[in-house]
């Protein structure tokens, strides 16, 4: 398999965890975008139960928890991320309301109709957008909210290079109108949709990634697989700068309107 055809899923989890552990966020986003998405959600109280699915080290979770009063559970299948998550919660003085647990997003440890809000930034792709929408819905109370960011096509047609890259990495990527239609079909009322600004990629993702790459390559000096993984991250950035008018992340906020 050539380097160009490899995706992140072809690498060992401990390598992925080591690389992204040195970043506040494991994907495009920003505190401003987290709070903008939160602004569309009402009825949250100190009794609200919130889950951040695929939370990573919790960069967005701590922002979220700083602006809501309910209980927040972060879930990720990488224990290394959860260790950092819980350390960050303690350092932020949020440990009484914010807890990170190791778990799988295809087998969530919540009861039916238990949650007031399901949050997931840049992570639902791990289970698949449509599958996540359908399987997570049962955990929400009637009137509960889902807020997820997901990669989207901005145009119906695009150059072959970027189309082929995403078809290899995540074949379920779709246009925003199609994604909204999937949300509606899964039994939610679409409430708001907005595209993440470019600085979510550049300032909050690619720039911190440069420092993370240096730490990673120093630790794994001479390790060809680690170097290949690092190279893949650089390719992702090059493609974004070349084709950013064709794709990016979109935040979708939706409400469960019936049981």
Return binding residues for S-adenosyl-L-methionine: 25-26, 76, 104-105
User: Both tokens of residue 185?
Assistant: 């079909």
Strand partners, 99: 73
Residues at the binding site are 25-26, 76, 104-105
Rounded Cα distance, 223 and 18, in Å: 14
Q: Which residue has the tokens 């969530």?
A: 108
The DSSP element (H or E) to which 185 belongs, if any, is helix 176-185
Report whether 138 contacts 256 (CB < 8 A). no
The closest alpha carbon to 238, from 165, 136, 132, belongs to 165
CA–CA dist 81, 244 (Å, integer): 29
The residues, any chain, with a CB within 8 Å of residue 220's CB and separated by 6 or more, are: 15, 18, 226, 227
CB neighbour burial string for 123-136, b if at least 16 within 10 angstroms, e if fewer? bbbbbebbebbebb
**Distance of alpha carbon 233 from alpha carbon 251, whole angstroms:** 23
DSSP 67-126: T--SEEEEEES-HHHHHHHHHHHHHTT-TTTEEEEE--TTS----TT-EEEEEEES-GGG
């Amino acid at each position: 398999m050539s380097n160009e055809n490899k995706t992140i899923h072809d690498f060992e989890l401990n390598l992925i965890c080591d690389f992204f552990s040195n970043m506040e966020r494991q994907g495009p986003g920003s505190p401003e975008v987290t709070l903008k998405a939160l602004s569309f959600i009402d009825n949250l109280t100190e009794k609200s139960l919130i889950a951040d699915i695929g939370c990573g080290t919790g960069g967005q979770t701590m922002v979220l928890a700083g602006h809501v009063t309910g209980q927040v559970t972060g879930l990720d299948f990488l224990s290394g991320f959860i260790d950092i998550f819980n350390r960050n919660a303690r350092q932020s003085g949020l440990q009484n309301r914010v807890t990170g647990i190791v778990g799988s997003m295809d087998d969530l440890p919540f009861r039916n109709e238990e949650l007031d809000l399901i949050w997931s930034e840049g992570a639902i792709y791990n289970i698949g957008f449509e599958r996540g929408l359908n399987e997570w819905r049962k955990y929400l109370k009637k009137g509960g909210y889902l807020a997820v960011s997901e990669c989207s096509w901005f145009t119906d047609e695009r150059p072959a290079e970027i189309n082929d890259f995403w078809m290899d990495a995540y074949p379920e990527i779709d246009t925003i109108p199609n994604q909204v239609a999937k949300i509606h079909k899964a039994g939610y009322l679409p409430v708001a949709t907005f595209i993440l600004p470019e600085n979510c990629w550049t300032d909050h993702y690619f720039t911190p990634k440069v420092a993370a790459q240096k730490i990673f390559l120093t630790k794994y000096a001479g390790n060809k697989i680690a170097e290949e993984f690092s190279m893949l991250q650089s390719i992702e950035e090059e493609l974004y700068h070349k084709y950013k008018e064709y794709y990016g992340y979109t935040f979708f906020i939706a409400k469960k309107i019936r049981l």
